[in-house]
Structure formats: structure tokens, C-alpha cells
Amino acid sequence: MKPAFFVKEAFRSISRNAIPSFAAMASVLVTVLVLGVFIPVVQATTGAANEVRGRVLVDVYLKKDATRTDVSRVQALLGRTDHVGKVQYVSKAQAYATEKKRNPEAYELLGTNPLPDTFRVTPDKPDNVAALRNALTTQAAGGGRIPIDGAIDQVKNRKDETNKILTATRVVKLAMGGLAVLLIIASILLISNTIRLSLFSRRREVEVMKLVGATDSFIRWPFVIEGVVLGALGGVLAVLLLGIGKVAFLDPLASDFALIAAPQTIGFALLAIVLLVASVGVSAVGSSLSLRKFLRV
């Protein structure tokens, strides 16, 4: 049988069952609209969480009498330590100038610079901050931990702040991931059930075709093509609405609100392709799954 026959039958079925077909297309439209908004939101939220996680630091404070040789040795030591991602050296003079700029009146009263030379160490992964801190210290005989180099005074990782950041960003990522999974499952069930309603209105036709000897593939293809067409129509309409919303609302606001302009999210062209492929794919799968029941005669 020629493919043109199946395409013709699919469009004939759409025209004969306008209401169920419209319901299926509307379901795809709504689902793709939600996905089109949800995907950039998830990306922006995850990006913001990763940016916050990137601020997790381990501060290595040197002793006040540390020499340039000590600074070089500790810097080389940090370069060989596991879980070290980035090392930033802040001299006592730089730290003093920064703090004095923030609070000039308080630092005017100080006769000497009380701040030490400091290395701000960013771990290779935020979750490795505790391991990095442990790598820079050793277990003391009387309990507690001491730095691995005599020139190091203290190793601190801002424990309370770090725990809050890691916990909050972990919750955000898990929540976004959970919502994404639920949305995908709900989308598949919604489209599958809607197409099933469309098939239910034609169950007698399917039964007759089975009784006269039609194969499952012969019966299935027009419905699968119908699902693909409806999915494509719903996806195209959703992409058009998203494009209009982007041009009419988001783009004018991007120059005035940094929160909208800052997040690095998927480009609209790529997003449109992803949504179209998803709408067609989910509709085809939903059609195939829905047909199983009606092919058992």
C-alpha cells in the first residue's frame, strides 16, 4: 500500500472527527507551551544555583610573619592538593585596602594592618569543599585538626554559609528535576488519553477492519500519522505563540531587568526545534500506545 493512502486516510479521519482531533491538538498545544516556558525557567534556575555554588570557598590564612618564600611554598602546595579548582592570592595589603574602602572610619583608627595574607581556594566541585578542607589539615594528637604547613595559620570553609548554599541549591535542583519529570509524565498521559478518546469514537471501524483481515500495521499507520499531524500542528502553534510572547514581552523587558537578560538559556531557534520534535514524538508514541487496546479484537 502506498504511503499516500495512509496520509489521505489520516486527514480524512481528522476531518470526520473534528472535535476529538481538536482536543488532541489543543492538548499538544498546551503541553508544548508549558514545556516552552518550563525549559528556560529550569535552565535559568539551575544556572543561578550553580553560580551560587561557585561561591563556595576555602580560606587559607597565613601567619602574620609569613615571608614571600612561605607564600610561594604554600601556593605550590595548593597546586598539588586534590580537589583544588582555582586559587586566588590576596595579600595583606590588598585585603587592608578593600576593607578600608568598605569601612574607612574603623580602619582609620588602626595603626597597623591586622589582616593576614590569604589564599581563597575554590574546590573543583562545590560538594568537595569538606574534602578539600580535610586535605589541607591533619588530625592533631589531642583532637581537632592542624594545617599541613607551618606557615598556614587557619583553614576555614565558612561552614555554616557553605552548608546553607549547598542545601538550598540541592533542593532547587531536585525540585526542578522532579517538576520536569512530573510534567513529562503528565504530558504523555494527557496526549495518550486524548488520542484514546479519538480512537474510541472509531472503535467500530477498527473492529470491522480487523474482522475483514486487515493487519495491525495497516490499521495503525493512519492513526500514527494522524497523531503526528496533530502533534505537529499543536507544536507549530505553540512555538508561534511563544515567539510572539518573546518578541512582545520578554525582549522589551530584557534591557530594563537584569534578571531577565542575565540567565544563559537555550536559544529560541533550538528550543523551537526541541519542542517540535517532542510534540511529534510524544504524539506518535501516544497514538501507538493507545492503539494496543483497540487492536485486540
Instruction: Tell me how far apart the alpha carbons of residues 268 and 108 are, in angstroms, rounded to a whole number.
Output: 54
The answer to whether domain 58-157 has CATH 3.30.70.3040 is yes
Count the Cβ atoms, other than its own, within 10 Å of residue 52: 16
Q: Give 117's contacts (C-beta < 8 A, 6+ positions apart).
A: 61, 62, 66, 71, 89, 90, 91, 92
pTM of the model: 0.59
Distance between CA 91 and CA 75 in Å, rounded?
12
Measured in whole angstroms, how far is the alpha carbon of residue 42 from the centre of its chain? 5
What are the residue boundaries of the structural domains of the chain, listed by start?
3-52+166-294, 58-157
Helices (H), the chain: 3-16, 18-53, 68-80, 92-102, 104-108, 129-135, 159-200, 203-211, 216-245, 251-254, 258-261, 268-294
Over residues 144-197, the pLDDT tens digits come to 788 888 888 888 876 556 666 667 767 777 777 777 677 667 766 766 676 677
Q: What is the pLDDT at residue 259?
A: 47
Q: Tell me the C-alpha distance between 180 and 38, whole Å.
A: 8
Say if CB 62 and CB 117 are below 8 A apart.
yes
pLDDT for 126 equals: 78
Distances (CA, A) of 129 to 135, 172, 249, 250: 10, 19, 41, 38
The residues of the chain scoring below 50 in pLDDT are 258-259, 262, 297
In this structure, what C-alpha cell is assigned to residue 110?
588602626
- Rounded CA-CA distance 282/227 in Å is 9
**What is the H or E stretch that residue 246 is in?**
none
Q: Show the cell assigned to 221.
A: 499507520
- What was the pLDDT predicted at 166? 67
Question: Is there a contact between 259 and 170 (Cβ–Cβ < 8 Å)?
Answer: no
Whether residue 60 contacts residue 136, with contact meaning beta carbons closer than 8 Å, is answered with yes
